[in-house]
Amino acid sequence: MLKVWGRNTSSNVQKVMWALGEMGLPCERIDIGGPFGNNKEPAYLAMNPNGLVPTLEEEDGWLLWESNSIVRYLAAKHGKLEPADLRIRAQAQKWMDWQLSVAGPAIFPLFWGLIRTPPEKRDDASIAAGREKIGEALKIMDAQLGKTKWLASDEFSYGDIPLGPIVHRYMTLVPPPERAGIKNVERWYEAVCARPGYKQHIADVPVV
């Protein structure tokens, strides 16, 4: 059976688990990283020299790290979630890259400031700036979702997967009155919450 190394609270592990859920592929997930540790031990570093999660391990021991690459690999291998049209596929991959380069860094100060920092050490100015930054980034996603049902086209694809954990964190950390100009993202969030794989691996997992 496929193995996914990584704790279920990691946003990058969640992407892979959601993609596996969408494709109906069974896997064994092994807790590592965060409170479970062991990700800087030689045995894990031999699999993933970054000491980060997730790592995918196939039945014959073949390994792959980088969550978005894992999602693309599994999709291509199983012929699911990957748009057949080259231009739509490129749009899907663009949103995956955008999550890594823009949306991920944008939500980091808000998430880290509110969730991973003890209240007495919180920097309120940095948290407020972070809220503004991810709010602005989500307006870019919102503009696309005003034109197409899903990010790459009107069909769900792997282009939607990496934004899943980020939008869930935003919706959890920012109450509705403080959200502005993201009605289409809210519609998208409601739609992904109705998908069993998203519910199991992202929406129902505590943001910690």
Ligand X SMILES: N[C@@H](CCC(=O)N[C@@H](CS)C(=O)NCC(=O)O)C(=O)O
**Please, what is the minimum distance in Å from the beta carbon of residue 113 to ligand X?**
16
Tokens representing residue 198 in the block? 């998203």
Q: Nearest-CA neighbor of 136 among 112, 172, 103? A: 103
Nearer to ligand X, 66 or 142 (CB): 66
**Please, what is the minimum distance in Å from the beta carbon of residue 17 to ligand X?**
12
Q: Counting Cβ atoms within 10 Å, is residue 177 exposed (0-12), middle (13-18) or buried (19+)?
A: exposed
Tokens representing residue 20 in the block? 């596996």
**Please, what is the minimum distance in Å from the beta carbon of residue 159 to ligand X?**
15
Nearer to ligand X, 31 or 155 (CB): 31
Per the CB < 8 A criterion, the answer to whether 9 and 208 are in contact is yes
* Residue entry with tokens 């100009």: 181
Separate counts of helices (H) and strands (E) for the chain: 9, 4
Residue nearest to ligand X (CB): 33
Nearer to ligand X, 68 or 184 (CB): 68
Nearer to ligand X, 95 or 184 (CB): 95
Binding site residues, ligand X, CB under 6 A: 10-12, 33-34, 39, 52-54, 66-68
**Please, what is the minimum distance in Å from the beta carbon of residue 207 to ligand X?**
12
